Amino acid sequence: MVGAVGRGVVVAVEELQRIPMSWEEYLATPEHPRHEWVDGVVVVSPDPGWRHQRIARMLANLFDAVAGLYGSTSGNVRLPADRVRIPDAYATTRLEGLFVERPVLVVEVLSPSTRSVDLLRKAPEYAEAGIAQLWLVDPDARTLEVQRLVDGRWQPHARLDDATPQAEIAIEPHGVVAADLLDLLDG
């Protein structure tokens, strides 16, 4: 995090840090701060803001209510090609060990500092890992897009916005969740 001072006001600027590190060194690091491991580099990101965390927590709680799923906002997801990512939330069928192996779905809450990484890097990595659904919440655009993996590619599954803020979304084969965009963003 970098600070700028002007007229007695400190303004924080979010910045990702990239630190070269071996797999063994990565495993020995403490759990906090949030850090991912991508191609031999640890990517340290600042903690998300309260709104970002609230949206992720609400979705994790929603997934927790589906039979056979555990929703969470913390955990390292191990992906192919020596990558470990930390989605904002995810749903899995079991919680064990240091890493979540192939969750049923992952959630990314888009923010200006991580938007391009979430869409251009993480989304294809999640597809390569065979994760069945990707939920993208854009608080600025006021949308929730759910994509499902079909033949290795993301396909639209559901889209919520201010005109259509509610939907029942299937998480196959586990069941259906009732999602409410207005509750997520404004509640």
Band the pLDDT of 63: cuts 50, 70, 90: very high
Predicted confidence at residue 21, as pLDDT, reads 82
Total count of residues recorded for the chain: 187
Predicted confidence at residue 105, as pLDDT, reads 97
What value does the mean pLDDT take over residues 11-22?
65
Domains of the chain and CATH, by start:
48-186 (3.90.1570.10)
Residue 143 phi, psi (nearest 5): -135, 155
Reported as a single tens digit per residue, the pLDDT across 125-170 is: 999 999 999 999 999 999 999 999 999 999 999 999 999 999 999 9
Alpha carbons 42 and 32: distance in angstroms, whole number: 13
Alpha carbons 39 and 60: distance in angstroms, whole number: 28
Contacts of 16 (CB under 8 A, 6+ apart): 43, 44, 45, 113, 114, 117
Predicted confidence at residue 19, as pLDDT, reads 82
Q: Which of 10-19, 56-65, 118-127 has the lowest mean pLDDT?
A: 10-19
The answer to whether the beta carbons of residues 72 and 60 sit under 8 Å apart is yes
Predicted confidence at residue 162, as pLDDT, reads 97
Concatenated DSSP letters of 115-167: HHIIIIIIHHHHHHTT-SEEEEEETTTTEEEEEEEETTEEEEEEEE-SSS-EE
Predicted confidence at residue 60, as pLDDT, reads 96
What value does the mean pLDDT take over residues 112-136?
94
**Positive or negative torsion for Cα 138, 71, 164, 127:** positive
Reported as a single tens digit per residue, the pLDDT across 24-38 is: 887 777 765 567 778
